[in-house]
Amino acid sequence: MFYLTYLHRELRRRLGRTVLTVLGLAVGVSLVVVVSALSAGLDKAQSKILDPLAKVGTDLVVSRPIEVPLAGAGNTAAVVGGLADSEVDSLVDENQSLFQTDFSKLGPSGSTFERELFLPATQLTFPDTQIAKIAGLDGVDEVAGALSLLAVHQKGKVPTIEATTQTGGKDVSVTKNIPPPTAAEWNAIGDCISSSGGGPGCLPARFKKLSAVFTTPREVIKQVLNPPQTDLATEPYTAAGVDARRPELGLITKAQITEGRFLTPSETTAVVLGEGYANRKNLKVGSNLALDGKNYTIVGLARPPLGGQSADVYLPLTVLQNLSGRPDRVNTLLVRADNASDVPALTKSIQRAFPGASVTSAKDLANSISGSLVSAGTLANRLGIALGALAIVAAVMIAVLLTLSSVAKRVRELGTLAALGWSRGTIVRQVLVESFTQGALGGLIGAALGAIAAFAVTSSSVTLHAAADTQAGPLTSSFGLGKVLSSKASETILLTAPLKPTVLLLGVALAVGGGLVAGGAGALRASRLRPADALRELG
């Protein structure tokens, strides 16, 4: 009991040094707690944003893009000029509806029409037989096909395609007077009459009076007007066909449905809309969406993962294939590996089995995401832990210096205790207990301050942003669609600072450990004191 009373009085007598030591350790501990909580919150936020493929149940995305060289805006010739002939043929073949528009098939001139154009742009389609081929590779658990297209809704009046002119149908009369015969012609006529008795045959051909009537033929002349003039209005959007038989693997899954439900394989007139598109169009679950003159019922709204292949309108795969005139064709494969560690090897296997394919992993997609979330996470990983460790080290050093200084100033006191019969071990224990107590107090206060700061961060509704570029591609930019379809998709996430009991215990343990280090240094010095040192101080 005496030792506890002595401890209490000693800490109170040197209150300034005690408070300074406790606060130093508390600041270090609170920094460690806050940084650990923020790092945990950032890791949680990044796991939601920076792993978009995990949200759609896949490890790899396989597509067949054509790398189109960049050119000046609207300079289609420059864009196509940088490609091989086979690539140009593929682009034109896949996007021919953009180049060829036969208005005469839309109805009579002046009538109103609406239609949809579906374009894969630079992400070319391929037969869906590739699904089974990739599924047969070693290390593949499951494969789903998808079709991502740029869509253009056109509305307007059918223009006048050609001008018609009718000619002919008129009677034309021709009459010609013949000059009188010459003397020689008269002699010839007389000889003819004498020999044959006369008749029309005795007259030369030029003596005959020409008289004829003929009708010009009727003919319709048509002239094609190029280009035809029309009040055509276009509205671009994106459409995606998903395999409704695999609700856990696709461009979107059941997990991304925020309202309503997912598509079912038997539905042919159901769609799911992206939240952003639905908000822009003021559409909701249960509303109708007209596509190519047919009404589709909106059965759900989805929020696709950032960095993934998002779309405005999602339809069952077979429905979009038929609607776009691309039966049995896809342009995206979503591959789930048996084991995440097999992804690098599986990537090479897919590239060998599917020449010309582009294989994208979750790491590739994460590298394309930017914003304050990424920057904050990088800063926390690089500097956060180092800052907390530096604070603890600084606090321990301050505690050591203060303890050594305290022991130096307590030579008379400690020497007197030795003269009174305290053993060297008892004196060392007393110094260690004082430092331990200061460390424990600093740890508890620091843990409390850190918890309060973490709670304040969570309650302050701090938001972080992440963004990923979504490009329509140079081909569509050349035809005026890129400006509308190219965008920077972004997502905002609330920053939290979750606390784990282990972090709080670690903070207290660090403070106690720091106190013991400081106490050990002081105790080592105190153990060398002799009663004679106290007498010298008195003298």
Domain-ending residue, one of 289, 322, 356: 356
- Say how far apart CA 90 and CA 84 lie, in whole Å: 10
> For residue 460, what is the DSSP state?
T
Same domain, yes or no, for 25 and 81? Answer: no
Domain-ending residue, one of 326, 356, 386: 356
Nearest CA to 428 out of 534, 520, 515 is that of: 520
- CB distance 104 to 315 below 8 Å: no
Give kind and range of the element (H or E) at residue 183. helix 183-196
- Say how far apart CA 357 and CA 355 lie, in whole Å: 6
Same domain, yes or no, for 375 and 459? Answer: yes
The per-residue pLDDT for 476 is 42
**Across residues 25-50, what is the average pLDDT?**
76
Domain total of the chain: 2
Same domain, yes or no, for 423 and 515? Answer: yes
Domain boundaries, position 115: 65-157+236-356
**Across residues 442-463, what is the average pLDDT?**
85
For 203-223, what is each residue's pLDDT tens digit?
776 665 555 565 667 776 655
Please report whether residue 519 resides in a domain.
yes
Same domain, yes or no, for 333 and 278? Answer: yes
For 418-435, what is each residue's pLDDT tens digit?
666 777 777 777 777 777
Weakest mean pLDDT among 92-101, 117-126, 467-476: 467-476
The per-residue pLDDT for 479 is 39
Please report whether residue 171 resides in a domain.
no
Q: What is the DSSP string of 314-357?
A: EEEHHHHHHHTT-TTEESEEEEEESSGGGHHHHHHHHHHHSTT-
The per-residue pLDDT for 279 is 92
The per-residue pLDDT for 316 is 95
Contacts of residue 416, defined as CB under 8 A and 6 or more positions apart, other chains included, come to 531, 534
Contacts of residue 393, defined as CB under 8 A and 6 or more positions apart, other chains included, come to 28
pLDDT for 142 beyond 80: yes
Place of tokens 């997912």: 262
The per-residue pLDDT for 73 is 43
Please report whether residue 295 resides in a domain.
yes
Q: What angle in degrees, to the nearest 10, is found between the helix axes of 501-526 and 15-49?
A: 150
Domain-ending residue, one of 323, 356, 389: 356
Same domain, yes or no, for 342 and 241? Answer: yes
Cis peptide before 227 (omega within 30 of 0): yes
pLDDT for 297 beyond 90: yes
Mean pLDDT, the chain, rounded, equals 73
Please report whether residue 192 resides in a domain.
no
**Across residues 70-96, what is the average pLDDT?**
52
Q: What is the DSSP string of 366-420?
A: HHTEESHHHHHHHHIIIIIHHHHHHHHHHHHHHHHHHHHHHHHHTHHHHHHHHHT
The per-residue pLDDT for 79 is 43
Same domain, yes or no, for 348 and 412? Answer: no
- This prediction has a pTM of 0.61
Same domain, yes or no, for 120 and 247? Answer: yes
For 319-344, what is each residue's pLDDT tens digit?
999 998 889 999 999 998 888 778 88
Instruction: Please state, for a pLDDT cut of 90, what percent of the chain lies above it.
Output: 14
Please report whether residue 21 resides in a domain.
yes
Same domain, yes or no, for 380 and 510? Answer: yes
The per-residue pLDDT for 257 is 92
Please report whether residue 168 resides in a domain.
no
> For residue 139, what is the DSSP state?
T
Nearest CA to 445 out of 20, 4, 37 is that of: 20
Weakest mean pLDDT among 175-179, 511-515, 531-535: 531-535
In total, the chain counts a number of residues equal to 539
The per-residue pLDDT for 408 is 63
Same domain, yes or no, for 251 and 375? Answer: no
**Torsion from C-alpha of 528, 532, 537, 539, nearest 10 degrees:** -170
Distances (CA, A) of 314 to 130, 169, 253, 300, 352: 22, 60, 11, 10, 31
- What single-letter amino acid sits at 515? G
pLDDT for 285 beyond 90: yes
- CB distance 206 to 85 below 8 Å: no
Contacts of residue 78, defined as CB under 8 A and 6 or more positions apart, other chains included, come to 69, 71, 72
Same domain, yes or no, for 389 and 327? Answer: no
The per-residue pLDDT for 191 is 75
For 307-321, what is each residue's pLDDT tens digit?
567 889 999 999 999
Please report whether residue 276 resides in a domain.
yes
Please report whether residue 266 resides in a domain.
yes
- Say how far apart CA 228 and CA 106 lie, in whole Å: 13
**Across residues 430-442, what is the average pLDDT?**
79
**Across residues 118-137, what is the average pLDDT?**
86
Same domain, yes or no, for 43 and 125? Answer: no
Same domain, yes or no, for 21 and 70? Answer: no
**Across residues 292-312, what is the average pLDDT?**
84
Write b or e for each residue in 413-441: b if 16 or more Cβ atoms lie within 10 A of its Cβ, otherwise e: bbbbbbeeeeeeeebbbbbbbbbbbbbbb
pLDDT for 272 beyond 90: yes
Q: Give the Cβ contact number of residue 393 at 10 Å.
A: 12
pLDDT for 170 beyond 80: no
